[in-house]
Amino acid sequence: MKIDYNFAFFDEGSKREIRRATLKAVAIPGYQVSFASREMPIARGWGTGGLQLTLSLTGTEDVLKVIDQGSDESVNAVNIKKLVKKTTGVLNTDDTNKATLIQSRHRIPEKSLKDKQILVLQVPIPEPLRLVEPSEYKTKRLHAENEYSGAWLMLFEQIMKYGNMSTGADHPVKVYDRYVMAPSPIPRFDNPKMDYSKALILLGAGREKKIYAVPPYTKVKSLAFEDYPFEVESFEDKECRLCKATGVFMDELIDEDTKETYYQCNDTSYCLDRLNNRN
Amino acid sequence: MESFEKPILKVNNLRKQFGNGCKKCEDMSEDVLDKNYCPECGTVYACQDVSFEVYNGEILGVVGESGSGKSTMMQCLYFDKEVTKGDAYISNYKDGKSNIFKESSQQKRYIRNNVLGKVYQNPILGLKMDFSAIGNIAEKLIASGNRKVDEMERRGNELLEHVNIPLFRSKEEPKNFSGGMQQRVQIAKALSNNPPILLLDEVTTGLDLSVQANVLDLIKKIQRELGISMIVVSHDLAVIRMLADRTIVMLNGKIIEKGLTDQILEDPQKPYTQQLVHSLL
Ligand SMILES: Nc1ncnc2c1ncn2[C@@H]1O[C@H](COP(=O)(O)OP(=O)(O)OP(=O)(O)O)[C@@H](O)[C@H]1O
Ligand SMILES: [Mg+2]
Ligand SMILES: [Zn+2]
């Protein structure tokens, strides 16, 4: 049975509305723009925000890459690719370089992004102040008044409890010296990649109905106290067991047989690319 | 004393109404002034043209029965609620030349963080129960621009020590603390930026007698050592007698009597105050 989908699943009106919200987000770096989040054939919380952005942006010439926590082959990534391909017919790729559109959950690829690429990040909780202020009305006011004590307080608490800013993921950033933004649960390791990124970065939260953006070449600074500087996860002295890469974000794994700890690139396509190009 | 010294806080005709009012009540006729609401439209006049001053280093007591408008007045002063009309001046803020009620919300936040400290009757309103005690104190320091963790930690511990919270509990969440400890954390938080004025709303209500005495001693100590001016709201005359230099008596949203605390308690002039004093002593 063949079902006729509209190109990119949505009707033109829906896509236009998402694009309008996106344009507004680009015009106000780091500011969360509300949009009418659509029902999707995948469950909310599984990247519907990112997927709506991707679908609204996809044109016939686009080449799409989808990654889920560094992997192009996870069930989630594969399902999203299938849906976009089925409704648009665009090409898929694992190669960061070849992609025009990259949808990702929890990572920014290791390979530097380029001009004219668009990175779409899936966001579960877009509001960096949510844990200190449950009311949306109030957080909107706090953003308007540039009042970010709550975000600093959360970092202070972490230092009190763990001795360092061990947020791990979703470490808040200040965009264009104005809005504090949740970069989505990417590791701190990826935060610096947002700073003056050549690619446009769009962030979409389906359940929370928010779109926000870091335009290309925009200052993005991770929050840090004067006496506790921002630090990324360190993989010093570690190398990928497969491709021997260093200075990338790695997964820590345990060898079943020897019970020894080893490291492997978290970005699988990066690792594969290195392996293929070696010989 | 009042004629020589400039007050640190001056409040003029503070009014707080809940509701829009109507023809009958807009001119504040006797009908309305007798109660605190309009029988015609139901508008509540929680504070009606309240005026008073607080002088440097003094504790001003506020007494009155439940519903007389004490908390509402404190909430207006701390910008928890917006006043309907009236003005107020703080000598430490813009030389006492600016009506603080008319300031922008950023400026109000600045005043809350740097010029005032408040202790709420209900600690849930004054503390983040899921954050550490020291984090609660740091919140105010951060809000006033501090970005040095070690400095804030030192200051936080110093304050907690000052209010007798053992250091080993400073990283615990106040939700695990007793009521008296929670009030003491609130006091430490209120003091964090050395505000010249402290607002205390029923700090001892609901605490055991011995714990009450403890908190009252602490307040006296703070006044003695730091010379901070305070407004202390309580319906407990014993608290007022122990703490307040001067006292105002509120009824139905109005101040009906004011004077030196001893005078008010020993020789009340208004029948209502006489009744209040006699029923409670
Ligand atoms: N949001 C509101 N809407 C309507 N009326 C209100 C509101 N908040 C307070 N009031 C009324 O304002 C009056 C003053 O209340 P307030 O809490 O200031 O009294 P209080 O003197 O602090 O009393 P208590 O001793 O019980 O704490 C009361 O009649 C109260 O019912
Ligand atoms: Mg009250
Ligand atoms: Zn009326």
B106, B131, B153 member nearest A145 (Cβ): B106
pLDDT-wise least confident of A33-42, A88-97, B65-74, B249-258: A33-42
The predicted pLDDT at position A4 comes to 74
Distance CA B109, CA B173 (A): 25
Query: Percent of chain A, pLDDT > 70?
Result: 97
Q: Which residue reads 């293929």 in tokens?
A: A276
Enumerate residues 6+ apart whose C-beta is below 8 A from A127. Answer: A32, A136, A139, A182, A208, A210
Above 90 in pLDDT, residue B4?
no
Instruction: State whether A147 and B109 contact (CB < 8 Å).
Output: yes
Above 50 in pLDDT, residue B1?
no
What chain A holds in terms of domains, given with CATH numbers, is 12-129+174-221 (3.40.50.11310), 234-279 (no CATH)
Cα A151 to chain centroid, rounded: 20
Question: Which of B30 and B21 is assigned the larger pLDDT?
Answer: B21
Which residue(s) pair with A205 in the sheet? A210
Distance from CA of B14 to the nearest CA of A (A): 26
Above 60 in pLDDT, residue A279?
no
The predicted pLDDT at position A231 comes to 92
Regarding the beta carbon of B17 and ligand 1, being less than 6 Å apart is answered: no
pLDDT-wise least confident of A153-167, B90-104, B251-265: A153-167
Instruction: State whether A227 and B148 contact (CB < 8 Å).
Output: yes
The pair of structure tokens assigned to B248 is 């105002």
Average pLDDT on B65-90 reads 96
Above 60 in pLDDT, residue B3?
no
Above 50 in pLDDT, residue B2?
no
The predicted pLDDT at position B280 comes to 63
Enumerate residues 6+ apart whose C-beta is below 8 A from A11. Answer: none
Average pLDDT on B161-176 reads 95
Distance CA B127, CA B129 (A): 6
Distance CA B38, CA B27 (A): 11
- What 3-state DSSP class applies to B90? strand
Work out which ligand 1 atom sits closest to the CA atom of B253.
Answer: 14
Regarding the beta carbon of B68 and ligand 1, being less than 6 Å apart is answered: yes
The pLDDT tens digits for A2-54 are 667 788 888 999 999 999 999 999 999 999 999 998 888 777 667 889 999 99
Query: Percent of chain B, pLDDT > 70?
Result: 96
Above 60 in pLDDT, residue A111?
yes
Above 70 in pLDDT, residue A90?
yes
- Is-contact A57 A132, C-beta < 8 A? no
